[in-house]
Chains A and B, each alone.
Chain A
Amino acid sequence: MRPSANIIPLAVVGLVVTGIVGFLVAILFISWFSNPPFGLGNAPAQPIDFPHTVHAGSVEEGGVGISCEFCHRNVTEGAAATVPAVEQCVFCHQQINPENLMASSSADQEQMQLVVDKFNDNDPINWERVHRIPDHVRFVHEAHIRFLTEGEARTVAMPIGDGQPRQLPLTTQQACSVCHGDVAAMTEVQPTPGQSLKMGTCVDCHRELNVGTDCTICHK
């Protein structure tokens, strides 16, 4: 057999293998270095179009300026921030305007009707999680909010987001936006670039502020 007869299939196999390996390496690189991680940067579709702009946005910008911890009640109490119960949505909307449940357009009325349906059926709203951390990480909201919102006035370097030193204590809304971005300006909540809640982000801050980097503070 002439040697050239084998060259073409060998070359094809070689190209295919190189292609597959290159593809995998590229995916690994993208997943490792992208911030937020690959596939977690987009806002997931929520069952109800909840506008944070209207609820949490400032009054000057057309919102009602509700503080974060009014709905995410457990954030100053325990580990999980928690999403509000359907009752809490309906309670406010009913109090403010029982006629049309405080919806200004027919599209809003449609969305509000979904909430009322859930309320009447005694069903929770299955919100999609936006900021996820792996199961082996136990994050405690309460301790972080307490650190950022209480204590005497001080300036601390925080290597998260824009990396600028911050003046503590912050308001609760500012404290939340340190990691979650400016949620009050988002119609769809999504992770902000540079605030991806990867382990490096946590450890950078903990090292900088000398607040303990023992593994068991988060992993337990």
Chain B
Amino acid sequence: MVTSRIDHKWGMVVDLDRCNGCQACVIACQVENNIPINDKNAFLQNRAYEWIRVERYWEGEYPNIKARFIPVMCQHCQDAPCEPVCPVFATYHNDEGLNVQIYNRCVGTRYCINNCPYQVRFFNYWHPNWPERMQNQLNPDVTVRTRGITEKCTFCIQRIRRGQLQVERRGGGELNDATLKSGNHMPACVQACPTNALTFGDQNDVHSPVQPYFEDVNRYNIHHEKERKTRGYRVLEEMNTRPNVIYLKKVDPNLDSSGGHHG
């Protein structure tokens, strides 16, 4: 990280064909990132925080009904709508392609939350609280966010940093796909996913499993979507926010053309 600069550009690929909506990623994220426990009250007020959430859609009509899942986390947009509206530069793009949120700079204007088309930024309406017996389970590498600031998915920057330090400590090399995996330095959701629906990697690394998807989707934009060689697409691609998260379409042999509705 510090002595040898390597040009990283992190990215994630979500294979919707493999996602079965088990919510393991949600729990892993909550534990890793010191996210307070959402009680019923938080959900009723639409103030629950989940840095990654699994959205559920119903497709078709009963009895031919299908559940569709899509995990949504911060898309780390390259043209992020949240960044220019922050009056104090608490959110910005760093040189590793991540959209980062600096908690001690944030003053809680919530402009970024309102400007985010993916609804993945969350405001701390309350002081975070954990039951007494869970006080010692907090992750020491992650700040406990206080009341009145905005937070969001960081692509587990603390794990990436730890990985960079470990690789450096063991004598150079670079943080690549293999070292990410062997040291468990990929984000907590990726590590927890039982079906490997989530893949994390370096877009600049030609050996990374995410690289071909990003290359394909970058080459053919939304107007040439039909020409894409892979199943890749970006959520709300027409907004042109150019996310660093790519979703792979679900392969459905019995595709129902009646469309879905949110359930």
Contact = CB atoms under 8 A, between A and B. Distances in A.
Given A134-B104, A211-B2, A220 B169 contact: no
Given A215-B100, A216-B100, A216-B157, A136 B165 contact: no
B102 A147 contact: no
A217 interface: yes
Interface in B99-132: 100, 102-105
A140 B165 CA distance: 9
A140 to B, nearest CB: 6
A142 interface: yes
Nearest to A219: B102
B257 interface: no
B154 interface: yes
Interface string A147-184: 10000000000000000000000000000000000000
Interface residues of B, number: 26
A215 B94 contact: yes
Interface of B is mostly: loop
Interface in B57-105: 92, 94-96, 98, 100, 102-105
A69 to B, nearest CB: 15
Contacts of B1: 212, 217
B254 interface: no
Given A135-B143, A138-B141, A219-B102, A212 B2 contact: yes
Interface in B125-172: 140-144, 154, 157-158, 161, 165, 168-169
Contact of A216 (B5, B144, B161, B168): B161
A134 B145 CA distance: 12
Contacts of A216: 94, 98, 100, 102, 154, 157, 161
Contacts, number: 57
B3 interface: yes
A136 B169 contact: no
Interface in A116-161: 134-136, 138, 140, 142-143, 146-147
A219 B96 CA distance: 15
A79 B2 contact: no
B15 to A, nearest CB: 27
Contacts of A99: none
B2 A220 contact: no
Contacts of B140: 79-80
A61 interface: no
A214 B94 contact: yes
Contacts of B158: 138, 220
Contact of A219 (B5, B104, B165, B168): B104
Contacts of A136: 103-104, 143
Contacts of A215: 92, 94, 100, 102, 105
B3 A147 contact: yes
Given A79-B141, A135-B143, A220-B143, A143 B165 contact: yes
Contacts of B2: 143, 147, 211-212, 217
A138 B105 CA distance: 15
Interface of A: 79-80, 134-136, 138, 140, 142-143, 146-147, 211-212, 214-217, 219-220
Given A142-B169, A214-B94, A216-B100, 6 more contacts: A143-B2, A146-B168, A212-B1, A214-B95, A216-B94, A217-B161
